[in-house]
Amino acid sequence: MSTGMEELRVLKAAEAVADEVWKRVSQWPVFPRDTVGKQLVRASDSIGANIAESFGRFHYSEKIQFLYYARGSLFETKYWLNRAQQRALMPELEVEGLSSQLTDLARQLNAFVASLRTQRTANGRRDSGLKEEEGVYLTLEEAAAAPPLFAEAELDWLISNLPSPIPNR
C-alpha cells in the first residue's frame, strides 16, 4: 500500500499527461497559446492538482469529491484537445495518444473512487459529507414559554459583577 502522495499511480499518470501538454503548448505561437493553450494547460494541470488535494483531505466524502473534480478537469482537457486538433494546433495522432492516456486515467480515477468507497464501508464510516446536526428552532411563542436560562437572582449577580468599563484614553 502506498504511503505517500507521490507514490499514487493515478497522480503519476496525471502528471505525465500535464507535462506532455505543457511541452506541446509551450511551442505554439502567441495567439493560440493565449486562447486554447492556456485553457488546455490549466485543465490538464487541474487533474493532478485535484488528485493531490484529495490526498490531503481527511473525510472519505471530501476525498471522493476532489476526485470527481479531477474527473471533470479530465473531460475539460479532452474538450480542449479536440479544439486544438480542429484548429490544426496538434496532429490527430498526438491528440489520440493523449486522449488514450486520459481514458486510462479516467478508469484509474473511477477505480480509486470505488476503493475509497469500499474503505469507507469497511471502516464502518457513514461519512456522507460535511453536515451539521439538525438544529432546533423555536417560534417566538415557544421561546417565550420556555423556562428562562437564568434565574432572577443569577441575573442580578451577573449584572452586579460586571467589570467596570475601561476609561477612554
Specify the CATH number for the domain of residue 79.
1.20.1440.60
At 1, the pLDDT band (50, 70, 90 cuts) reads very low
**155 belongs to a structural domain:** no
Q: Which residue has the cell 473511477?
A: 110
Rg (the chain; Cα; Å): 27
Number of domain units in the chain: 1
Q: With 80 as the cut, is the pLDDT of residue 74 above it? A: yes
Q: Is residue 69 part of a domain?
A: yes
Does residue 148 lie within any of the structural domains? Answer: no
Cβ atoms of residues 67 and 37 within 8 Å = no
pLDDT over threshold 70, residue 102 = yes
Q: Compute the distance between CA of residue 47 and CA of residue 53 in angstroms, rounded to an integer.
A: 10
Residue 121 has pLDDT above 50, yes or no: yes
Query: Measured in whole angstroms, how far is the alpha carbon of residue 16 from the centre of its chain?
Result: 20
Looking at residue 2, its pLDDT comes to 46
**Is residue 44 situated within a structural domain?**
yes
Identity (one letter) of the amino acid at 92? E
Q: Is residue 62 part of a domain?
A: yes
Q: Is the pLDDT of residue 23 over 70?
A: yes
Q: What is the mean pLDDT of the chain?
A: 85
> pLDDT at residue 132 above 60?
no
Q: Which structural domain range is residue 86 located in?
A: 5-122
Four-residue CA torsion sign, 85, 87, 89, 91 = positive
Which pLDDT belongs to residue 145?
A: 77
Is 127 inside any structural domain?
Answer: no
| Residue range 79-95, pLDDT digits in tens | 999 999 999 999 999 99
For residue 60, is it within any domain? yes
pTM of the model: 0.69
Residue 59 within a domain? yes
